[in-house]
Amino acid sequence: MAAHALSFFTGEHATAANVVDRALTLNPNSAHAWLVRGMVSNMQERPDQAIAAIEHGMRLSPLDPLRRGFTIIMAVAHFAAGRYEEAIEWADRTLAAQPDYRQAMRIGAASCAYLGRIEQAHGWLNRMLHFEPGSTIAQVKASAPPLPAEFLNRYLEGLRKAGLPEE
């Protein structure tokens, strides 16, 4: 699976899906393969499938030392599905495991902004800026993996509403 893992990050989501499906056929009990399945499903704009895959992976490895990987992908899937309350809950769980996880802070800020909780969104954003001073929309966009356009645009708009500057 590792040989083709980069296909996920280069935008070749169909290839990545085929590779992870093969891995799951060989070992359906691999929690991390289910994690990757969730990541790929998010990239294929299938958040409900991503959630199901992540839930399965977490059941297989309930005390996984990389639990933050599962929880952040769950937060992203809920954000993608427009379930912002759930996205915030999962972002909080991610931060409980790794307090400096900036992606969780960004998802929390964007989710709060879409719920109209601008003060709370500012709190999430200020926490993120503590670790990434000077962060901007342009930087977030430039460092993002090849995300579905609708997701990326909504995510960046949420960060704008939360108060992240453009440049």
pLDDT band (50, 70, 90) for residue 10: low
pLDDT band (50, 70, 90) for residue 11: low
CB 97 within 8 A of CB 67: yes
Domain 1-64 falls in which CATH fold?
1.25.40
Q: Which of 147, 167, 15, 1 is nearest to 79 (CA)?
A: 147
Q: Per-residue pLDDT averaged across 62-81, rounded? A: 96
C-alpha span between 72 and 39 (Å, rounded) = 10
- Architecture of the domain whose range is 88-167: Alpha Horseshoe (1.25)
- Domain-wise residue ranges, the chain: 1-64, 88-167
C-alpha span between 12 and 126 (Å, rounded) = 34
Output the pTM of the full model: 0.89
CB 102 within 8 A of CB 132: yes
**What pLDDT, on the 0 to 100 scale, is given for residue 3?**
38
**What pLDDT, on the 0 to 100 scale, is given for residue 15?**
77
**What pLDDT, on the 0 to 100 scale, is given for residue 147?**
86
C-alpha span between 112 and 124 (Å, rounded) = 9
Mean pLDDT for the chain overall: 91
Q: Per-residue pLDDT averaged across 115-134, rounded? A: 97
**What pLDDT, on the 0 to 100 scale, is given for residue 161?**
97
**What pLDDT, on the 0 to 100 scale, is given for residue 1?**
40
Q: Per-residue pLDDT averaged across 9-29, rounded? A: 77
pLDDT band (50, 70, 90) for residue 13: low
**What pLDDT, on the 0 to 100 scale, is given for residue 7?**
43
pLDDT band (50, 70, 90) for residue 16: confident
| Position 2 pLDDT exceeds 80 | no
